[in-house]
């Protein structure tokens, strides 16, 4: 019987077993860390979902309307509050002395050069009208 060989084989077996154990342990640790990360991701997803739902609830138009009316005194926009740039009267400004911000002054210059008498479009110009406009008779009919 070759005694040293036996010792060597048993030793190798032991070393292999230790090696296998440590690899297995490392794999298990990695798995555990991955599971932990997955759990964290899932929890974060859950939190994001909760926040988005909460945001949607806070974004309810009725709630915003109440806040705007009570705290800011706002109301629905009046059509007279909406104008286009072309409908604004031209404003005479003093010639700029600082020319460092070219873009801004160029636009002001362009604005100042707008024609005084602007062409206005009336969308009803070609709409049919009654030949004789009668007085409204009641306004309460169906």
Partner 1 sequence: MAHGTQSRFGWAGHGTEFFENEALRRARMRLGMLTMCVFAAFTIVGLRLADISIAVQANVDEPQVTVVEQARHRAELVDRRGNLLARNIEIVSLGADPRDVWDPVDTAQRMLPYLPDTDEDRMVRRLSSGRHFVWLERRISPQQHYDIHSLGLGGVRFITEQRRMYPHSNMLAHLVGYSDVDGEGLSGLELGLNDTLQGEAAPVALSIDLRVQHALRDELAAAMEEFSAIAAAGVVMNVNTGEVLALVSLPDFDPHDPASGSSMARFNQITSGVFELGSVVKPLTIAQALEIDLVNPDTYLDVSQPVRVAGHSIRDFHRIEEPISVWEVLGESSNIGTAQIAGMIGRERQRSFLQEIGFFDQQDIEMPGAAYPLVPSNWGPLETATISFGHGLSVTPLHLTSAIAALVNGGYMIEPTFEPREETDDFARRRVISEETSHQMRALMRYVVTDGTGGNADVPGYDVAGKTGTSEKPAEGGGYDRDRLLSSFVGTFPASDPEIIVFAMLDEPQGQDHTHNFATGGWTVAPTVGRVIERIAPLVGVMPVDMEARSNRAAESQQLATLSPQ
Q: Shortest approach of partner 1 to residue 91 CB, angstroms? A: 17
Interface contacts to partner 1, rule CB under 8 A: 3, 6, 10, 14, 17, 21, 24-25, 28-29, 32, 35, 43, 46-47, 49-50, 52-53, 55-57, 59-62, 65, 76-80, 82, 84, 87, 120-124, 127-134, 136-142
Closer residue to partner 1, CB minimum distance, 45 or 106:
45
77 torsion bin: left (phi>0), alpha (psi -120 to 50), beta (else): beta
Closer residue to partner 1, CB minimum distance, 24 or 114:
24
Closer residue to partner 1, CB minimum distance, 75 or 103:
75
Other beta carbons within 10 angstroms of residue 108's beta carbon come to: 14
Q: Shortest approach of partner 1 to residue 113 CB, angstroms? A: 21
Q: Shortest approach of partner 1 to residue 134 CB, angstroms? A: 6
Q: For 139, which DSSP code?
A: S
| Consecutive H or E run containing 64 | helix 61-72
Rounded-to-integer distance, Cα 28 and Cα 100, Å:
66
Q: Shortest approach of partner 1 to residue 128 CB, angstroms? A: 4
Tokens of 52: 């988005």
Rounded-to-integer distance, Cα 2 and Cα 92, Å:
112
């Amino acid at each position: 019987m070759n005694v040293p060989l036996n010792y060597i084989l048993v030793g190798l077996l032991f070393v292999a077993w230790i090696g296998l154990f440590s690899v297995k342990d490392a794999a298990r640790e990695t798995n555990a860390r991955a599971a932990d990360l997955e759990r964290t991701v899932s929890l974060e997803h859950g939190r994001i979902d909760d926040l988005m739902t909460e945001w949607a609830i806070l974004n309810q138009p009725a709630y915003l309307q109440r806040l705007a009316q009570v705290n800011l005194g706002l109301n629905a926009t009046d059509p007279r509050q909406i104008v286009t740039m072309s409908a604004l009267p031209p404003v005479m400004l003093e010639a700029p002395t600082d020319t460092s911000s070219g873009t801004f002054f160029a636009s002001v210059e362009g604005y100042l050069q707008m024609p005084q008498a602007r062409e206005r479009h009336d969308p009803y110009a070609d709409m049919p009208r009654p030949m004789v406009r009668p007085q409204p008779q009641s306004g309460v009919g169906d």
